[in-house]
Amino acid sequence: KSCVMATVAINSLLNYKTEKYIDTKNKAVGVLHRLFQLSVIGYIIGWVFIVKQGYQEIDDAIQSSVITKVKGTAVTNTSESGLLVWGPEEYVIPPQGEDVLFVVTSFLETPNQKMGYCAEVRTFCFHFKSLTGCIRPQCGKCIRNNENSNGTCEIFGWCPTEKNIKPQ
């Protein structure tokens, strides 16, 4: 009885089954199949885990990401697209890649912005014909509240302009 059970166990171990579950009685094919399986397992255990210690592999490269805030505008005037004002949201590409952390620490809202002509809030025109203090693309006008004020430069861009007042 034990001899028969041993024969059945050996035969089932050395039999090779295909996807259609054809039970082949060819011992050479069964041995070849089991040797292939053992070689794959041996490679994983022997080479990857014992020799190369792949489970302990550490990436030595320093990975970091730098986020910068860009302020300012650029103007293009082409025959195809005409006069365009470019802000940082149009020419700054967000970081891409793995293990990147981006934390927004400040948010300034400028509601109802539209492209047009408006007064620059950060600079002043000291003379009506001199626009040397203007920092954005100007259209050549100095807007004054009254005769005694210095006025501000009129710009072509997103209006109203951004004010550096943090929300409460």
* Cis, peptide link before residue 160, omega less than 30° from 0: yes
Domain that holds residue 84: 74-159
Confidence of residue 108 (pLDDT cuts 50, 70, 90): low
Q: Is the pLDDT score of 126 beyond 60?
A: no
- Of the ranges 46-60, 61-75, 129-143, which one carries the lowest mean pLDDT score? 129-143
Q: What is the pLDDT of residue 167?
A: 47
For the entire predicted model, the pTM comes to 0.34
Give yes or no: residues 93 and 148 share one domain. Answer: yes
**Both tokens assigned to 40:** 């794959």
Listed ranges 25-29, 64-68, 150-154; the one with the highest mean pLDDT: 25-29
Give yes or no: residues 79 and 141 share one domain. Answer: yes
Residue 151 domain-assigned (yes or no): yes
Q: What average pLDDT score do residues 114-127 get? A: 67
Give yes or no: residues 43 and 103 share one domain. Answer: no
What's the N-to-C CA distance of the chain in angstroms? 88
Domain count, the chain: 2
Give yes or no: residues 28 and 79 share one domain. Answer: no
pLDDT in tens, 19-45: 776 777 888 988 999 999 999 999 999
Confidence of residue 94 (pLDDT cuts 50, 70, 90): low
Phi, psi of 137 (to 5 degrees): -60, 120
C-beta separation of 150 from 125 below 8 A: yes
Give yes or no: residues 46 and 120 share one domain. Answer: no
Give yes or no: residues 10 and 52 share one domain. Answer: yes
